[in-house]
């Protein structure tokens, strides 16, 4: 239709013209002051940040780079005008934050910059914190997590096994009781986790702060998912019509434990998280079947045979998934053979592997010899099988008690990162030059965080250069952080920037602007790879 095409052309023309207009315009507003001031260290997290300009601006992109490395998009919480106000979310962690901002003045040329500030203490991208806990909290947390695992695996596991074969009446009751126990322990473990994270004693459980701290860690998501799984499991056990809900229980419980913990946090995430999920899925089936089978085998009837046959049919898949995922996770967590294998983490893993070996041996004997005999009705075989299953239950309980302790032992992978950090505190050096001047750049310490940058300036012949002023601009387009601009001060023949905060590790572009004389300016540029602390 002619009018439509005309309209379309009109819009296209307007768009093209507006692009042309942006090429012509080149105005910019100036940042006069900020609240908090640049590089400030504030005791507690502020509620808002203010940037005051000399003319009204509109915000284009506002993001807050966090000390632990992620970034929050805060454009929706920013109000424009001569003072740009950014409302900060609550719950900001301690450490160095960077507000990377981009705005446009009335005349449409963008201005950008970065506001660096620290909460509590200045610190660059955080390394995995080795937990320090009070001596009473740690055992309490360990016990709570162990109990939670037991409740989940035997309680929800029972509901899952009910998908394959009906549960004996006592088995159903036990599963119900364990699930209910799990629902009580889960929130308690969350509070204890918060205490552990904050380093408090158990009597601080009455403080809301501990619960909030626990919830804000990744463990909060795990507890939420586990609780939901337990509730659904209870429903599935109580009402036969809701039996199919056990599929959802299985999925939820398997994913829940992948949401937190060391294993799921390693790289590559897609591999480790799915490995943990698979590991748990297999375990849920196997362990969930143990109690019902033990109870069934006490009686000699068709339902018992059916349960045994169904278990025998599906268990190979469960064991296969457990072994494959377990091996994958162990390789990733341990890394190459090194002394770190003998850390507490490694020792717990060794103990777990020994117990698993015994478990698999028992399971193998059950499968190869005893199951067939028990199915044909031989009483002795059934007795042996029952005792073997009882032994398996015991070993599983031991393993669960062990793995609950992994909370307190960093895997070798994390220890390796800490070791590497110690090496990276040596100073960083870089050299920049153009056809008239050279600069030697030294950054101490040589990693992200609060640093001191020294510049030694010479001309091409090596004689000292004496510019009127030196301004350094740090930017990192790859990290999405707008420029941080600071003036250097001449101290003892060296131009020094102190303090300077490099907020995040990565590749940074350093631009040194030398005011050689009243009318002449020179730019020297260098690229520096800054490691994390």
Partner 1 sequence: MIRTVSRLAVALATLTALAAPAFAHSTLEVQEAAIGSSYKAVLRVPHGCGTEATHTVRVQIPEGFFAVKPMPKAGWDLDIVTGPYQNTYLNHGTEVKEGVKEIVWSGGNLPNEFYDEFVFRGTFADTLEPGTFYFPAVQECANGEEAWIDTTGAEGVDMPAPSLELVPADESHAH
In terms of CB distance, is 16 or 206 closer to partner 1?
16
**Smallest distance from the beta carbon of 439 to partner 1, in angstroms?**
17
Q: Per CB under 8 A, which region of 18-26, 256-264, 363-371, 438-446 contacts partner 1? A: 18-26
In terms of CB distance, is 13 or 364 closer to partner 1?
13
Strand 110-119 to strand 40-42: parallel, antiparallel, or no bridges (unpaired)?
Answer: parallel
- Residue 317 φ then ψ, to 5°: -65, -45
Residue 173 touches partner 1, criterion: CB under 8 A: no
Task: Figure out which of the listed residues 17, 208, 241, 463 binds partner 1, where binding follows CB under 8 A.
Answer: 17
In terms of CB distance, is 77 or 515 closer to partner 1?
515
For 88, how many CA atoms within 13 A lie in the half-sphere containing its CB? 22
Q: Per CB under 8 A, which region of 15-23, 221-229, 265-273, 393-401 contacts partner 1? A: 15-23
Contacts of 4 (CB under 8 A, 6+ apart): none
Residue 32 touches partner 1, criterion: CB under 8 A: yes
Residue tagged 């020179």 (tokens): 522
In terms of CB distance, is 383 or 515 closer to partner 1?
515
Structure tokens at 383: 């007795």
Count interface residues toward partner 1 (CB under 8 A): 25
Task: Figure out which of the listed residues 18, 48, 299, 507 binds partner 1, where binding follows CB under 8 A.
Answer: 18
Q: Which of residues 75-134 bind partner 1 (CB under 8 A)?
A: 105, 107-109
Q: Per CB under 8 A, which region of 17-25, 157-165, 291-299, 425-433 contacts partner 1? A: 17-25
Query: CA–CA separation, 499 vs 137, rounded Å?
Result: 39
**Smallest distance from the beta carbon of 518 to partner 1, in angstroms?**
6
Query: CA–CA separation, 497 vs 454, rounded Å?
Result: 6
Q: Per CB under 8 A, which region of 247-255, 265-273, 333-341, 519-527 contacts partner 1? A: 519-527
Query: CA–CA separation, 78 vs 60, rounded Å?
Result: 10
Query: CA–CA separation, 153 vs 289, rounded Å?
Result: 10
Q: Per CB under 8 A, which region of 28-36, 61-69, 274-282, 349-357 contacts partner 1? A: 28-36
Would you say 521 and 515 are in contact if contact means Cβ atoms under 8 Å apart?
Answer: yes
In terms of CB distance, is 105 or 366 closer to partner 1?
105
Would you say 269 and 371 are in contact if contact means Cβ atoms under 8 Å apart?
Answer: no
Phi-psi region of 91 (alpha: psi -120 to 50; beta: other; left: phi over 0): left
Q: Per CB under 8 A, which region of 10-18, 296-304, 397-405, 420-428 contacts partner 1? A: 10-18
User: What SS3 class is residue 315?
Assistant: helix
Task: Figure out which of the listed residues 27, 136, 418, 460 binds partner 1, where binding follows CB under 8 A.
Answer: 27
Structure tokens at 505: 């590790």
- By CB atoms closer than 10 A (0-12, 13-18, 19+), residue 62 is buried
**17-28 residues labelled b (16+ CB within 10 A) or e (exposed):** eeeeeeeeeeeb
Other CB atoms within a 10 A radius of the CB of residue 488 amount to 23
Task: Figure out which of the listed residues 26, 91, 302, 463 binds partner 1, where binding follows CB under 8 A.
Answer: 26
Q: For residue 310, give the nearest of 163, 155, 203, 96 by alpha carbon.
A: 163
**Smallest distance from the beta carbon of 454 to partner 1, in angstroms?**
24
Task: Figure out which of the listed residues 54, 269, 420, 478 binds partner 1, where binding follows CB under 8 A.
Answer: 54
In terms of CB distance, is 276 or 439 closer to partner 1?
439
In terms of CB distance, is 270 or 519 closer to partner 1?
519
Would you say 506 and 478 are in contact if contact means Cβ atoms under 8 Å apart?
Answer: yes
Residue 299 touches partner 1, criterion: CB under 8 A: no
Residue 492 touches partner 1, criterion: CB under 8 A: no
Would you say 166 and 311 are in contact if contact means Cβ atoms under 8 Å apart?
Answer: no
Task: Figure out which of the listed residues 1, 4, 24, 43 binds partner 1, where binding follows CB under 8 A.
Answer: 24
**Smallest distance from the beta carbon of 458 to partner 1, in angstroms?**
21
For 359, how many CA atoms within 13 A lie in the half-sphere containing its CB? 21
> In the complex, which residues of this chain contact partner 1 (CB under 8 A)?
10, 14, 17-18, 20-21, 24-30, 32, 54, 105, 107-109, 515, 518-521, 523
């Amino acid at each position: 239709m002619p009018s439509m095409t005309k309209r379309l052309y009109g819009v296209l023309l307007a768009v093209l013209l507006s692009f042309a207009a942006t090429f012509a315009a080149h105005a910019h507003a100036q940042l006069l002051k900020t609240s908090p001031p640049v590089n400030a260290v504030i005791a507690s997290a502020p509620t808002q940040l203010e940037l005051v300009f000399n003319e009204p601006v509109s915000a284009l992109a506002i993001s807050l780079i966090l000390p632990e490395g992620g970034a929050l998009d805060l454009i929706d919480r920013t109000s424009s005008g001569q003072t740009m106000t950014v409302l900060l979310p609550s719950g900001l962690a301690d450490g160095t934050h960077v507000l990377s901002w981009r705005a446009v003045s009335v005349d449409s040329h963008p201005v950008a910059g970065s506001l660096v500030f620290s909460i509590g203490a200045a610190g660059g991208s955080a390394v995995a914190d080795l937990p320090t806990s009070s001596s009473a909290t740690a055992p309490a947390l360990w016990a709570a997590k162990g109990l939670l695992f037991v409740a989940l695996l035997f309680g929800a596991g029972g509901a899952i096994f009910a998908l394959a074969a009906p549960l004996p009446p006592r088995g159903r009751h036990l599963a119900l009781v364990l699930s209910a126990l799990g629902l009580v322990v889960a929130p308690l473990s969350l509070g204890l986790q918060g205490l552990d994270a904050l380093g408090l004693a158990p009597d601080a459980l009455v403080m809301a702060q501990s619960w909030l701290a626990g919830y804000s860690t990744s463990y909060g998501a795990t507890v939420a998912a586990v609780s939901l799984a337990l509730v659904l499991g209870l429903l599935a056990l109580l009402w036969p019509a809701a039996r199919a809900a056990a599929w959802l229980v299985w999925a939820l419980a398997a994913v829940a434990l992948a949401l937190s913990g060391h294993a799921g946090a390693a790289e590559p995430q897609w591999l480790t998280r799915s490995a943990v999920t698979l590991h748990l899925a297999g375990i849920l089936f196997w362990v969930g079947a143990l109690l019902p089978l033990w109870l069934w085998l006490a009686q000699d009837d068709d339902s018992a045979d059916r349960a045994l046959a169904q278990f025998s049919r599906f268990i190979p898949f469960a064991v296969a998934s457990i072994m494959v995922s377990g091996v994958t996770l162990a390789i990733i967590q341990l890394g190459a053979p090194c002394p770190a294998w003998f850390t507490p983490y490694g020792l717990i893993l060794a103990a777990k592997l020994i117990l698993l070996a015994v478990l698999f041996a028992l399971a193998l004997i059950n499968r190869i010899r005893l199951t067939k005999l028990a199915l044909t009705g031989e009483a002795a075989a059934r007795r042996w099988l029952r005792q073997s299953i009882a032994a398996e239950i015991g070993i599983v309980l031991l393993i669960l008690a062990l793995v609950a302790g992994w909370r307190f032992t960093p895997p070798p992978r994390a220890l390796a990162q800490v070791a590497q950090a110690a090496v990276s505190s040596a100073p960083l050096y870089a050299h920049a030059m153009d056809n008239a001047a050279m600069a030697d750049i030294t950054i101490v310490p040589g990693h992200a965080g609060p640093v001191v940058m020294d510049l030694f300036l010479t001309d091409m012949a090596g004689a000292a250069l004496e510019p009127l002023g030196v301004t350094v601009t740090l930017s990192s387009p790859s990290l999405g952080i707008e420029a941080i601009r600071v003036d250097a001060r001449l101290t003892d023949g060296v131009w020094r920037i102190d303090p300077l905060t490099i907020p995040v590790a990565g590749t940074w572009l350093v631009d040194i602007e030398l005011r050689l004389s009243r009318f002449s300016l020179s730019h020297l540029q260098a690229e520096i790879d800054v490691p994390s602390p």
